[in-house]
Amino acid sequence: MSALVATAEVRRLRAELAEVAAGRAFLLQAGDCSESFDEFTAPAVRNKLKVILQMAVLLTYGSGLPVVKVGRIAGQFAKPRSSPTEDIGGICLPAFRGHMVNGDAPDAQSRTPDPRRLLGAYHQSAATLALLGSFAHGGFADLSQVHSWNLEFVASSKEGRRYNRIANEIDRSLRFMAACGIDLDSEETLHKVDFYTSHEALILHYEEALTRMNSADGLWYGQSAHMLWAGERSRRLDGSHIEFLSGIANPVGVKVGPSIKPGELVRLCERLDPKRQPGRLTLIARMGADKVRDVLPPLLQAIAGEGFPVVWACDPMHANTFLSDGGRKTRRFDDIVREIEGFFSAHGEAGTFPGGVHLELTGDNVTECLGGLDEIGEDRLHVRYTTTCDPRLNARQAIELAFLVSELLQS
Binding site for ligand PEP (CB under 6 A): 33, 80, 231-233, 255, 286, 318, 390
Closest residue by Cα to residue 318 from 371, 359, 275: 359
* Residue 232 partner contact from Co ion, ligand PEP, none using kind-dependent CB cut-offs of 5 to 8 Å: ligand PEP
Alpha carbon distance 233, 81 (integer Å): 8
> C-beta of 345: minimal distance to ligand PEP in Å?
21
Largest Cα separation within the chain, whole Å, is: 70
* Residue 354 partner contact from ligand PEP, Co ion, none using kind-dependent CB cut-offs of 5 to 8 Å: none
Q: Which is nearer to ligand PEP, 146 or 303 (CB)?
A: 303
> C-beta of 329: minimal distance to ligand PEP in Å?
11
Closest residue by Cα to residue 61 from 167, 145, 192, 196: 167
Strand ranges in 95-246 using DSSP code E only, listed in sequence order: 195-200, 211-213, 220-222, 227-230
Is the sign of the CA dihedral 302, 304, 307, 310 positive or negative?
A: positive
> C-beta of 359: minimal distance to ligand PEP in Å?
10
* Residue 255 partner contact from Co ion, ligand PEP, none using kind-dependent CB cut-offs of 5 to 8 Å: ligand PEP
* Residue 235 partner contact from ligand PEP, Co ion, none using kind-dependent CB cut-offs of 5 to 8 Å: none
Interior CA angle at 31 toward 30 and 37, to 5°? 160
- 390 makes contact with Co ion (CB under 5 A): yes
> C-beta of 270: minimal distance to ligand PEP in Å?
21
Select the span of 102-110, 199-207, 237-245, 386-394 touching Co ion (CB under 5 A).
386-394
R_g (Cα) of the chain, nearest Å: 20
Compute how many residues bind Co ion; rule: CB under 5 A. 2
* Residue 298 partner contact from ligand PEP, Co ion, none using kind-dependent CB cut-offs of 5 to 8 Å: none
Amino acid identity, position 43: P
Given 28, 33, 314, 357, the residue binding Co ion (CB under 5 A) = 33
* Residue 66 partner contact from ligand PEP, Co ion, none using kind-dependent CB cut-offs of 5 to 8 Å: none
* Residue 329 partner contact from ligand PEP, Co ion, none using kind-dependent CB cut-offs of 5 to 8 Å: none
Amino acid identity, position 395: A
Is the sign of the CA dihedral 26, 230, 260, 239 positive or negative?
A: negative
CB 164 within 8 A of CB 403: no
Q: Which is nearer to ligand PEP, 11 or 286 (CB)?
A: 286
> C-beta of 79: minimal distance to Co ion in Å?
7
Select the span of 166-174, 202-210, 217-225, 387-395 touching Co ion (CB under 5 A).
387-395
Q: Which is nearer to Co ion, 33 or 287 (CB)?
A: 33
* Residue 80 partner contact from Co ion, ligand PEP, none using kind-dependent CB cut-offs of 5 to 8 Å: ligand PEP
DSSP label at 74? S
DSSP label at 61? H
* Bridge partners of residue 357, in order along the sequence: 28, 314
> C-beta of 98: minimal distance to ligand PEP in Å?
9
CB 164 within 8 A of CB 173: no
Alpha carbon distance 394, 184 (integer Å): 33
Alpha carbon distance 169, 57 (integer Å): 12
> C-beta of 391: minimal distance to ligand PEP in Å?
11
Alpha carbon distance 300, 174 (integer Å): 40
Q: Which is nearer to Co ion, 207 or 390 (CB)?
A: 390
Q: Which is nearer to Co ion, 39 or 379 (CB)?
A: 39
| SS3 (DSSP) at 167 | helix
Closest residue by Cα to residue 141 from 51, 17, 19, 10: 51
Q: Which is nearer to ligand PEP, 193 or 340 (CB)?
A: 340
> Euclidean distance between the first and final Cα of the chain, in Å?
48
Q: Which is nearer to ligand PEP, 31 or 103 (CB)?
A: 31
Q: Which is nearer to ligand PEP, 50 or 255 (CB)?
A: 255
Q: Which is nearer to Co ion, 21 or 228 (CB)?
A: 228
Chain residues that interact with Co ion, rule: CB under 5 A = 33, 390
